[in-house]
Structure 1
Amino acid sequence: MKKRIVLVRHSDEPADDRVFAYLQQNGYEPVLRRAFAGEALDADDTVAGGVIYGGMYNVYDTSLHPFLLDEYRFIDFCMNAGIPLLGICQGAQQIAWLHGAHVGPPASGVHEFGCYPIYPAEGAEDFLPAPIHVTQSHWHGLELPEGAQHLASSALFPNQAFRIGEKVYGLQFHAEVTPTGFQRVQNRPTANYDKPGAQTREEQDRLLSLHDAAQAAWFDGFLRKLFPPLI
């Protein structure tokens, strides 16, 4: 039986991201789950890891969105079981918030929407050897949970990545999104081009054409460490 990795998604968009493709190509069984649509999140000994994707939900709005409580129970399950867990954007914020860290928009109102450089934190060169441009689409930031290792920062948001222990990672950015996937974000009526810090569509396209290949290569290496190939 293939090792099952539960992918907790927050939309009905196609699963054409780099995490899904990597898992399929390397011997895992990616299991898509949508708690927001009432789907149960697997939490048993057949689960070998989890990924919490980004989304549009405020991580602290558990009364408004009770399904978030199911996702928090899933995060607890993964961490207690000692299996790999990756939180991306909202997912990273959920891991941080569950462990007591503040999550929310900065007082400046600044957004990151486009392609921005991030920089390795001191002592985190094993995670990010050198600065790299990554895809971003968020306006909430996070503080580091107690006991977490700071891994990366950007000019606008100081906490771009963290690690808890050896198997739990939070990434504020979207290295998993392909250019096709990001085009869906760019084309949304709610796309935040007019917000402070956001890049124009033209600037986003220019920077992604220059930097996405390097982002994809870095992310593949990261996934190979977190979910080592089985084939």
Structure 2
Amino acid sequence: MPISTDRPQILIVLHQETSSPGRVGQMLVEAGFDLDIRRPPLGDPLPGTLENHAGAVMFGGPMSANDSDEFVRRETDWLAVPLKENRPFLGICLGAQMLVNHLGGKVAGHGDGLVEIGWYPLEATDEGARLMTWPQHVYQFHREGFSLPRDAVLLARSQAYPNQAFRYGQNAWGIQFHAELTRMMMHRWVVHGAHRFVLPGAQLGREHLGGRLVWDMQLKRWLGEFLTTVFGRPMPR
């Protein structure tokens, strides 16, 4: 719930009782923001305006953006608030897919049933490369992807799910992959998500943990630069 503070607040939208904003939350706090954490699936309301917030981040979850649950529809409709008020908004995985649905795009699985669960190559578009240097590999954990909404700018792509990052207008951003995981979070995901490693295209748990040793520092550096771009305040490196 809202915190009484002189520090600017970022609205954090999570989807499970044990979910954490992870490295994103850590960087925002170190950059001088406070976190207003809400969990709509557990009954937390979303604010009718972001006039008391410096922006919002909507994270992922095991549900689909196409589910008929009341909170999914409520969150998707709520995205009109940051868009209308032109407040910085970042959607990660499910959050990005909800933004796509709100903008009239489509969220769906791969035609051949492929998933991205593990570390996969990422390629910046020309527009994305002009903004920043992107990581060569990113951590993924999803079975659905999204179309590029009308008037959105594609910033990064991958092979199985071509649309990986986009900007809509000047202040709305969506990314399919996960840069927010701390080491502890990744270990938890590998344990609780192991049943999905048999899906087509998924990597085994040891590849998740081994890939972190190779690619995570690059991903962390990118996240700091990306959050600086989204929220306009230098992030810790």
TM-score category (smaller protein)? over 0.9
Residue identity in the other structure for 2:59? Y
Task: State, as a whole percentage, how many aligned pairs show the same letter.
Answer: 31
Matched residue, 1:135: 139
Say whether the 8 Å CA contact 1:7–1:31 is kept in structure 2.
yes
Q: Verify: 1:175 aligned to 2:150, yes or no.
A: no
1:68-87 alignment runs, 5 A limit? 68-87=72-91
Q: Verify: 1:203 aligned to 2:207, yes or no.
A: yes
Q: Verify: 1:9 aligned to 2:17, yes or no.
A: no
Residue identity in the other structure for 1:197? G
Matched position secondary structure for 2:222: helix
Q: Deviations over 1:42-100 (max 9, x none)?
A: 233212211110011221223xx101232123311011111100000011000001111
Which 4+ stretches in 1 moved above 3 angstroms? none
Matched residue, 2:54: 48
Deviation at 1:130, TM superposition (A): 4.7
Task: Give the root-mean-square deviation of aligned CA atoms.
Answer: 1.7
Q: Distance in 1 between matches of 2:98 and 2:77?
A: 11
Match of 1:37 among 38, 42, 63: 42
Q: Deviations over 1:126-164 (max 9, x none)?
A: 345355211100010100000000111112110001110
Matched residue, 1:219: 223
- Which of 196-205 and 129-138 deviates more? 129-138
Deviation at 1:38, TM superposition (A): 0.6
Residue identity in the other structure for 1:205? L
Structure 1 pair 171/130, CA: closer, same or farther in 2 (3 Å)? closer
Deviation at 1:189, TM superposition (A): 5.4
Matched residue, 2:32: 27
Deviation at 1:16, TM superposition (A): 5.5
Give the aligned length.
229
Structure 1 pair 184/71, CA: closer, same or farther in 2 (3 Å)? same
TM-score, normalized by length of structure 1? Answer: 0.93
Residue identity in the other structure for 1:38? G
Deviation at 1:202, TM superposition (A): 1.7
More helix, by proportion: 2
Structure 1 pair 98/16, CA: closer, same or farther in 2 (3 Å)? closer
Q: Distance in 2 between matches of 1:159 and 1:15?
A: 25
Residue identity in the other structure for 1:211? W
Residue identity in the other structure for 1:43? G
Structure 1 pair 127/157, CA: closer, same or farther in 2 (3 Å)? farther
TM-score, normalized by length of structure 2? Answer: 0.91
Q: Distance in 2 between matches of 1:84 and 1:43?
A: 15
Q: Deviations over 1:171-193 (max 9, x none)?
A: 00001112211111110156411
Residue identity in the other structure for 1:49? G
Matched position secondary structure for 1:145: coil
Q: Distance in 1 between matches of 2:21 and 2:102?
A: 28
Residue identity in the other structure for 1:39? D
Q: Distance in 1 between matches of 2:183 and 2:62?
A: 20
Structure 1 pair 127/18, CA: closer, same or farther in 2 (3 Å)? farther
Structure 2: which 5+ runs fail to align? 1-5
